[in-house]
Chains A and B, each alone.
Chain A
Amino acid sequence: GNSVTQMEGPVTLSEEAFLTINCTYTATGYPSLFWYVQYPGEGLQLLLKATKADDKGSNKGFEATYRKETTSFHLEKGSVQVSDSAVYFCALARDDKIIFGKGTRLHILP
């Protein structure tokens, strides 16, 4: 079946550190892939997306590349800020449903 596996948190980094949150997926066909973010006290919102292999989604300094050969969609940011502290969810869309990973909580220390 379709599933998403992402690294467990919490992840704690210092400000300006490099961030990677790993995400791999299992799916039939060619799903679209997403990263959603949930800031403290706020609702879930789309961070970035990629709809086909080798696409790179980017937003707010975050990037993720759709790697079909490794079935991965790792989230990266070159220099994190305190304001990036949130829970990040990797997700795939298939047959009109979105399947979410369990989320990774990110803490950025000043």
Chain B
Amino acid sequence: GAGVSQSPSNKVTEKGKDVELRCDPISGHTALYWYRQRLGQGLEFLIYFQGNSAPDKSGLPSDRFSAERTGESVSTLTIQRTQQEDSAVYLCASSPVAGQGYNEQFFGPGTRLTVL
């Protein structure tokens, strides 16, 4: 079946511009996650959506970052006034259920963002 998809696959923007990154999770998955992966670094948790609950925004690095999700479908990560340090691969993952400690996540291919 279809996996997690993300668009665009690559985005080059100028410093100070706003960007929107899109994630389409696997159908039926209630949980959706955004991560940032800087070159040579591990995954940095950004934000987590679970059903209709308030999102866990504890990983967002600044108020320039925000994300929305419509129901249990598409999510958009927005970065306002981009800075060069925002350059990274942004990964989206979805998960079928939120359980007690076990939560396999399925990852999209990522969006590579380059801020000039």
Provide the residues of chain B in CB contact with A29, threshold 8 Å.
101
Task: Find the B residue at minimum CB distance from A32.
Answer: B102
Q: Using a CB-CB cutoff of 8 Å, which residues 80-116 of chain B contact chain A?
A: 91, 93, 98-99, 101-110
Task: Find out whether the CB atom of A32 lies under 8 angstroms from the CB atom of B91.
Answer: no
Tally of B interface residues using CB under 8 Å: 24
Provide the residues of chain A in CB contact with B50, threshold 8 Å.
96
Tell me which of B41, B103, B109 contacts A102 (CB under 8 A).
B41
Task: Find out whether the CB atom of B48 lies under 8 angstroms from the CB atom of A96.
Answer: yes
Provide the residues of chain A in CB contact with B43, threshold 8 Å.
44, 89, 100, 103
Contact digits for B40-71, partner A, Cβ 8 Å, 1 yes 0 no: 01110100101000001000000000000000
Chain A-chain B contacts (Cβ-Cβ < 8 Å), number: 57
Which of B48, B101, B103, B105 has the most C-beta atoms of chain A within 10 angstroms of its own C-beta?
Answer: B101
Contact of A60 with B by CB under 8 A: no
Q: Using a CB-CB cutoff of 8 Å, which residues 1-59 of chain A contact chain B?
A: 29-32, 34, 42-46, 49, 51
Task: Find out whether the CB atom of A43 lies under 8 angstroms from the CB atom of B91.
Answer: yes
Contact of B21 with A by CB under 8 A: no
Task: Find out whether the CB atom of B107 lies under 8 angstroms from the CB atom of A98.
Answer: no
Task: Find out whether the CB atom of A99 lies under 8 angstroms from the CB atom of B45.
Answer: yes
Task: Find out whether the CB atom of B107 lies under 8 angstroms from the CB atom of A93.
Answer: no
Q: Please report A residues at the B interface, Cβ cutoff 8 Å.
A: 29-32, 34, 42-46, 49, 51, 89, 93-103
Q: Please report B residues at the A interface, Cβ cutoff 8 Å.
A: 31, 33, 35, 41-43, 45, 48, 50, 56, 91, 93, 98-99, 101-110
